[in-house]
Amino acid sequence: MKKYNTLLLIIGFAALLLSQQKIFMPFVYEVIKSDLFLVDSNDKASQLPVSSHLTDLAYLNCNKFITTKYGETSKFTFANKPINSWSLGNYQYVVNAEATITDSNKNTTVKKFVCRIGYKNGDDQNGIEDTENWSITGVSGLDS
C-alpha cells in the first residue's frame, strides 16, 4: 500500500509541474505582453532626476503635507528646491529633499526625507495647482 502512495505523490507532483509549465506560465506571459496594465499618459518616467513645473508642485505639496502632519510639535523650514526629483510616469513622483526642523525646545536638526506623491487627475491639468488633486503615498526620513 505504501508503494502506491509514494507513486501517486510522484505522479501528482509531476502533473503539477507539467501543468504549471505548459498551461499556467504561457498564460502569464501572454498577459504580461498584452496592454492590460499599460497606462498611456503624457507624463513619461525618467530614471534620471528631473526638474520641471510638475516636480516643483510635487515638492510644494509634499512640504504642505509634512507641515500639516508634523507641524504641531515642530517648525519646518524647507529649501527652495528639492535635492532630486524623479518622475515615475503617469504623474507619480519621488522627491528627495532636506528640511530644517526646530522642535518646541528650540533644538534645530537638519533631516533628509523622501516623499512619494501623485497627481490624481492625469492628463487633465486644470486643477494642478489645487492641493486636493495631489495624493501622498508616503514620506520617510522624518519619523525618528
Rounded Cα distance between 30 and 46, Å, is: 26
- The pLDDT value recorded for residue 1 is 59
Write down the pLDDT at residue 48. Answer: 86
User: Which tens digit of pLDDT belongs to each residue from 87-101?
Assistant: 998 899 999 999 999
Q: 42: number of CA atoms within 13 Å, CB side?
A: 7
For residue range 51-77, list pLDDT tens digits in order. Answer: 888 899 999 999 999 998 887 888 999
Q: Is 55 helix (H, G, I), strand (E, B) or coil?
A: helix
Confidence at residue 100, expressed as pLDDT on a 0 to 100 scale: 92
2 pLDDT band, cuts 50/70/90, is low
Note the pLDDT of residue 144: 59
CB-based contacts of 64, cutoff 8 Å, min separation 6: 131
31: helix, strand or coil: helix
Q: How far is the C-alpha of 18 from the C-alpha of 26, rounded, in Å?
A: 12
Of the candidates 111, 115, 94, the one whose C-alpha atom is nearest the C-alpha of residue 50 is 94
DSSP state letter for 125: -
Q: Which SS3 state, helix, strand or coil, does residue 26 take?
A: helix
Query: Model confidence over 128-137: pLDDT tens digits?
Result: 888 899 999 9
Report residue 93 as a C-alpha cell.
513622483
Above 80 in pLDDT, residue 42?
no
Residue 15 has pLDDT above 70, yes or no: yes
pLDDT the model gives residue 82: 95
pTM of the model: 0.71
φ/ψ (deg, to 5) at 44: -100, 150
In this predicted model, what pLDDT tens digit does every residue of 101-130 receive, in sequence order?
Answer: 998 888 899 999 999 999 998 888 888 888
Kindly indicate the confidence band of residue 36, based on its pLDDT and cuts at 50, 70 and 90: confident
Number of continuous H segments (helices) and E segments (strands) in the chain: 3, 5
For residue 82, CA distances in Å to 9, 19, 114 come to 59, 51, 10
Beta-carbon count within 10 A of 61 CB:
24
